[in-house]
A and B are shown apart, each in its own frame.
Chain A
Amino acid sequence: MESINAKYVSQKISKTRWRPVHAAALHQPTCFATGSWDNETNQVCIWGVGETGMACEDDELEGDPQLLCECKHGGDVLDLQFLDQERLITASSTGAVTIYKIHADSQSLSVAHVWDRSHHYQRASAPCTGVVCSSPDVVSVGEDGRVILYKADQRGIKNADSSTIHAVTFLRTTEVLTVNSIGQLKLWDFRQQGNEPAQILSLTGDRVPLHCVDRHPNQQHIVATGGQDGMLCIWDVRQGNMPFSLMEAHSAEMWEVHFHPTNPDHLFTCSEDGSLLHWETSSGLDTPSFLQSRNTSIMSRSAAAPAGGNQSLISAWLNGDSSKGRLETTHMLPSQTLSVNSLDVLGQCLVCGTDGEAVYINRQVPV
C-alpha cells in the first residue's frame, strides 16, 4: 500500500485499462488509457508511467503518470477495452461504439472507426453500456437491451433483454454472457439462430441488478459478478442456475470485478463506496469459509485434485469444503475516496480511477 501513487487529473474517470504488453516482453505494463464521464467534453487519454526513460528529477515523480496523448470523445465513456496494442474501443453514452488508434510512439490518438447510433430506441439514441472484444470479434450491449456482434455480417440481437444490460464478457469465442438490471445472467450463443438466450441464471430472492461480470482466465465456466448491493457472486455456468457462492463485499454498488489474468487466485473489486478490495484465496483444498453448502460431486472431485498451485483442475473459488476458510481481503486504497469506478490489473500493476478525479497506481501488488 505504501507504493500507491495518486494523481489528480481534472476529470472524473469512468474507465481505466492497462495497455497490453507484448507477450514476449517481461516488463510490467507502462501505459494505460482512461476514459472520462460527466464532462462537457469527455476525453480518452493515454498515460505513461514508470521506467520508460522519462525525464524525472526525483524519485517521487517516478511513479507519477504523465499524459501522453488524448482525444475527444462524444458522450460519457461507459466502457473501454484494448483490442490490441495499437487500438482501443470505447462505448459511449450517445450509443456509439468507437475504435481509436494509437499512433507511433504513443504520440497521438485518433478515431479510426465509429459505429454511430449502434444502440438506440425507436426515436432516440440509447447509451451503450458495455463493450468487449476477443479479436477480431467485438460485442456491445446497451440500455436498449440489444446485444450486437460486429463482424462482416453484423449480427444484432434486438430486444435481447427487456431491461438494461449492464455488462458483457466473452465465455468462449462464440458465446457471451451478459448481466442486466433485473439480476439475470444470460448466455448467448452466436452459432444459434434466433433471439433467445441459451441459458438464464439468476438468484432467487430479490432481483438485485448486476453491474459487472468477469470470467476466470483459465476456466471458462467460472464467472464472478457484482451487483447493486455490493455482493460478490461466483457462478459455475455449467451447474444449475444458482450462484456458487455469495460474499458481502461492499456497502454500495460494485462497479467492476476482475480476476487477475495470470494469477487467478486473486480477484479485485471496486465500488461506489470508495473502496477497492483485493481478494486472495489459497489454492488447493482450502476454501472460503462462508461458501454455501455444495453438492457432493464437487467435493469428491476436489478431494482428488492435487494440492497446491494453479494447476489444480478445480479452481480454488469453487472448492466445496467449508470447514477451513482462507480468503483474505485487503483494502488497496489508503483512505476512503469518492466512488472508485474502474480498475485494471496486469502483472503486478494496478490502476484505478475515481469520481474524485484521481487515478491511483500501485506497481507492487502482491500477487
Chain B
Amino acid sequence: LRQRHVGFEWGTGDILVYETNFKLQGAGSARSGTPSVHVVRKDEDIYSPILRKLFNESHHIFVGLQNIQEDLPSKNKKPQFVSISKNYRSVIRACMEELQQGAGACCVSILLAIELIWNLCEVLFIDAAPAGVLLLHLLDWVRLHKADVDERAREVLQSESPTHHHAYWEVVISFVLQGRMDEARQVLVKQANLQPASRPIYQLMDSLLQKMPIFNPGGTQTLTEFDVKWRHWHEECDRCLQDNSFASNRHLETICKILVGDEDTMLEHKELLGTWYHFLVSRLLYFHPTVKPSELHYYAQSSMDMFLDFRSAPEPLDSILLAAFEFDIHQVIKDCSIALNNWWFVAHLTDLLDHCKLLQSHNLHFGSNLREFLVLEYASGLFSHHSLWQLAVDYFDHCPEFGRVYLELQLERVPLETERKALKVLRICEQRQMNEQVRSICKIMAKRALSNNRLGSALSWSIRAKDAAFATLISERFLQDYCKRGSFSDLDLIDNLGPAMLLSDRLTFLGKYREFHRLYGEKRFTEAAKLLLSLMTAKIAPRSFWMTLLVDALPLLEQKEVLEELFISKLSVSLSLSLSAVCLFQDEDIESTKLELLRLALARNLAMAIVKEGTVEA
C-alpha cells in the first residue's frame, strides 16, 4: 500500500481499507493497482482461543447477575455481589494460568493488571469495608499480587542451610512488610536456634512480632479498643528502638524500624516492595491500621510520590489505581476505557457497579447512561466476530434503552450460510417479537431456495413467516410448471399441505386442484365434479386457469353418474358454466377446436338440464 492514497470505511469492529487511484498532483494514475480490500481489525483479542473462554464464561456470569431478584434491598445483596465479583476474577485467573502455560505472554500482563484493578475495585467499592476491615482486605489484595514471596521462601527453606542463604533476610523482611507475622517468625526461629548467644534479642523480636494486634471483625472488640491496643504495641516497638535493643543486629534493627512504621527504611527495600501500592499498604499497616476509606487518597498520593521518585511519569495502571483510591469510579472507568483495547473489562465492571447502585446515573449525550453505553459497545464488538455474536444477544437484551434497536440492526446482518444458522437467528427474533426481522430473514431464505429450485423449502419458509405474498408466488411457479409439463412436480409437498394451504388463495387453489386430479384419477367422479364446481364458484381460480378448468370439466359432464347426482342443481351448474364461458369467449383467443367442443358440451348440458328440470316427477 505504499505511495498510494487509501480510502477507508468503518465497519462494526473493523475498518475496510482499499487503494485508490487518487494522486495529489497530476492526473490519476492509469496503472491498475491491486484490487484487494484490506480488513484492519481493531481488536485481535476476541480471536484468541484462550480469551474466548473468558468471553463465554463471563457471559454466563453476566446473565446470572442480571437475573438476581430485584426485591431485596441492596444491602442484603452485598454478599451476592461480592461473590459474583470473585467469580469474574477467578475466570480471569483461569485464563491467565492457561496463557502462562501456553505462549501468549503478551496478554498475561494485561490480564494481571485487569485482575489487580478489579480486585481493588471489589475491595473498595463493592465490599466497601469500613475502617479496620479495610486494611485487612488491602493486605489480602497485596498478598495475592505479590506471590513471588512464597516462591522465594520455599527456595530458602529447602536449601541446605537456610540461614546462610543470601535471600534469607529478604524473605523475613518481605513477610514482615506483608504483615505475615507467623511466617516471619517461623523463618526467624531458624536463625535464633543457630546463635544461642543472641537468643534474647531474637526472643524479643519474636515477642514483638507475636504481640502485634490484628483487628478481628467478627470479634467483640471495637475499633477504638483495637486502636488503643495497637498504640500500646507501637509504643513498645518504639521503646525497643530507642534503647537500642537490636543495635547488635542490623537486620533485626531494620525490622524493628519497619514495625514502627519508618517510611525511609521501607523505601530502602524498594525492590522487595516492588510497587508503590505495596508500599502504601505496608505504610498503613504499621502507621495507621485503622485507616478510614476517606483517608486513603491522601496516603495513596503521597506513597506514589515517595516511591516513584519523579523518575518516570506514572503509568496508566498507576493513575487508574490512584483514581480508585480516591474513590473516583468514573475516572477509573474512563482511564480503563482508554488504556485497554477491548470493552470487556469496563463493560462488566461497570455493569456490576451499577447493580450495586454505585454509579450516579448521569446521562451521556447519546441518551443512555454509562453502563448501557459500555455494554452496547462491548456487545457490538462481539457481533463483529463470526462466532461470538450469539453471546452479544443476551447483552443487548439487558440494555433497556437501545438494546433492542441495536439487536434488530445487527441480526439482519448476520450471514446465513446454512439453514441451521438461519433457524437459530429466527428463534432469537421470534422470542423477542421482532416480526420485521423474521419476515425479512424468511424471505431471504425462501428466495434462495426458490432460485435453487427447492420449492418445498421455499414454501416452508413462507409458512414460517406467514408470508402470503410469497406463498402465492410459489404456487404460481407450481401452476406454471404444471401448464408447461402437464403434470405436477413435488407431489409429496402439494399432497400434504394441511392447514398451511389456507395461507394464500393461490395456494389453496393449488392444493384443491391437485386434489381434484387425485379424485379423478381414483375415478371418484362425483366428488371431483363437486370440487371443481366449488373451485369455480369460489372464484379463487386465477384467470389464466379458467380455460383449463373448463376443459377439465368437459369429460366430467359426459359421465352419467355425474349427471344424475347433480340433478337438482343442474341448472345452476350450467348457468355458472355458461357465465364463465361467456367471459372467456369475450376476452381471449382460444383454439377453435376447444371452443367448439366446449360449446357443444355446454349446449348439450343445457338441453339436458332443461329437459330434466322440466320433467315432473311422478
Interface residues, chain A, with chain B CB atoms under 8 Å away? 8-12, 14, 37-40, 76, 78, 93, 121-124, 126-127, 129, 143-145, 161-164, 180-182, 184, 186, 197, 200, 202, 204-207, 209, 228, 252-253, 272, 335-339, 355-358
B231 at the interface (CB under 8 A from A): no
Known A-B contacts A38-B387, A122-B452, A205-B499; the reply to A357 vs B52 at CB < 8 A is: yes
CB of A253 within 8 A of CB of B56, answer: no
Which residue in A162, A204, A272 is a CB contact (below 8 Å) of B493? A162
| A68, chain B: closest CB distance, angstroms | 17
Which residue in B56, B386, B457, B499 is a CB contact (below 8 Å) of A162? B457
17 CB contacts below 8 A, A to B, read A12-B387, A76-B421, A93-B417, A121-B452, A121-B454, A143-B457, A145-B454, A162-B492, A164-B456, A181-B457, A206-B500, A207-B497, A336-B63, A337-B60, A338-B391, A339-B424, A357-B52
Known A-B contacts A253-B427, A339-B424; the reply to A207 vs B463 at CB < 8 A is: yes
Q: Which residues of A contact B386 (CB under 8 A)?
A: 38-40
Known A-B contacts A39-B387, A181-B460, A356-B60; the reply to A253 vs B452 at CB < 8 A is: no
Contacting A at CB under 8 A, from B43-68, are: 49-50, 52-53, 56-57, 59-60, 63-64
CB of B419 within 8 A of CB of A207, answer: no
B195 at the interface (CB under 8 A from A): no
| A298, chain B: closest CB distance, angstroms | 26
B459 at the interface (CB under 8 A from A): yes
Q: Which residues of B contact A122 (CB under 8 A)?
A: 452-453
Q: What's the dominant secondary structure at chain A's contact region? A: loop
Known: A12-B387, A39-B386. 10 other contacts (CB 8 A): A10-B49, A11-B49, A40-B386, A163-B457, A164-B456, A181-B456, A182-B456, A207-B500, A272-B423, A355-B390
Provide the bound-state CA to CA distance between A335 and B499, in Å.
38
Nearest A-chain residue to B415, judged by Cβ = A38
B496 at the interface (CB under 8 A from A): yes
Q: Which residues of A contact B60 (CB under 8 A)?
A: 335, 337, 356
Nearest A-chain residue to B498, judged by Cβ = A207
CB of A143 within 8 A of CB of B419, answer: yes
Residue interface bits B395-418, CB-to-A below 8 A is 1, else 0: 000000000000000000000011
| B378, chain A: closest CB distance, angstroms | 17
B173 at the interface (CB under 8 A from A): no
Which residue in A127, A339, A358 is a CB contact (below 8 Å) of B418? A127
Q: Which residues of A contact B498 (CB under 8 A)?
A: 202, 204-207
CB of B455 within 8 A of CB of A162, answer: yes
CB of A143 within 8 A of CB of B500, answer: no
CB of A162 within 8 A of CB of B490, answer: yes
Provide the bound-state CA to CA distance between A358 and B390, in Å.
13
Which residue in B56, B490, B499 is a CB contact (below 8 Å) of A206? B499
Provide the bound-state CA to CA distance between A76 and B459, in Å.
25
| B99, chain A: closest CB distance, angstroms | 12
B365 at the interface (CB under 8 A from A): no
The 3 closest A-B pairs by CB, nearest first: A162-B456, A163-B456, A162-B490
CB of B56 within 8 A of CB of A356, answer: yes
Q: Which residues of A contact B456 (CB under 8 A)?
A: 145, 161-164, 180-182
Known A-B contacts A162-B493, A182-B460, A205-B498; the reply to A78 vs B56 at CB < 8 A is: no
CB within 8 Å: A-B pair count: 133
CB of A272 within 8 A of CB of B424, answer: yes
Known A-B contacts A93-B417, A200-B496, A204-B498; the reply to A163 vs B390 at CB < 8 A is: no
Residue interface bits B454-494, CB-to-A below 8 A is 1, else 0: 11110110010000000000000000000000000110110
B420 at the interface (CB under 8 A from A): yes
Q: Which residues of B contact A228 (CB under 8 A)?
A: 423
CB of A93 within 8 A of CB of B418, answer: yes
CB of B390 within 8 A of CB of A338, answer: yes
Which residue in A124, A181, A204, A358 is a CB contact (below 8 Å) of B56? A358
| A211, chain B: closest CB distance, angstroms | 8
Provide the bound-state CA to CA distance between A74 and B390, in Å.
22
CB of A252 within 8 A of CB of B452, answer: no
CB of B496 within 8 A of CB of A184, answer: yes
Provide the bound-state CA to CA distance between A8 and B54, in Å.
9
Q: Which residues of A contact B59 (CB under 8 A)?
A: 356
Provide the bound-state CA to CA distance between A316 and B377, in Å.
53
CB of B56 within 8 A of CB of A8, answer: yes
CB of A182 within 8 A of CB of B493, answer: yes
CB of A184 within 8 A of CB of B492, answer: yes
CB of A202 within 8 A of CB of B496, answer: yes
Provide the bound-state CA to CA distance between A252 and B467, in Å.
21
Q: Which residues of A contact B390 (CB under 8 A)?
A: 12, 338, 355
Which residue in B63, B423, B454 is a CB contact (below 8 Å) of A163? B454
CB of B57 within 8 A of CB of A8, answer: yes
CB of A124 within 8 A of CB of B452, answer: yes
CB of B387 within 8 A of CB of A11, answer: yes
CB of A357 within 8 A of CB of B53, answer: yes
Provide the bound-state CA to CA distance between A356 and B388, in Å.
9
| B4, chain A: closest CB distance, angstroms | 28
Nearest A-chain residue to B94, judged by Cβ = A8
Q: Which residues of B contact A180 (CB under 8 A)?
A: 456
Q: Which residues of B contact A338 (CB under 8 A)?
A: 390-391
Provide the bound-state CA to CA distance between A14 and B387, in Å.
12
Q: Which residues of B contact A78 (CB under 8 A)?
A: 418, 420
| B296, chain A: closest CB distance, angstroms | 37
Q: Which residues of A contact B489 (CB under 8 A)?
A: 162
Contacting A at CB under 8 A, from B416-441, are: 417-421, 423-424, 427, 431
| B361, chain A: closest CB distance, angstroms | 29
Most buried by B among A39, A126, A357: A357
CB of A10 within 8 A of CB of B417, answer: no
Q: Which residues of B contact A126 (CB under 8 A)?
A: 452
Nearest A-chain residue to B67, judged by Cβ = A336
Known A-B contacts A161-B492, A228-B423, A356-B56; the reply to A207 vs B460 at CB < 8 A is: yes
Provide the bound-state CA to CA distance between A181 and B459, in Å.
10
Q: Which residues of B contact A357 (CB under 8 A)?
A: 52-53, 56, 387
| B466, chain A: closest CB distance, angstroms | 12
Which residue in A8, A162, A209, A355 is a CB contact (below 8 Å) of B454? A162
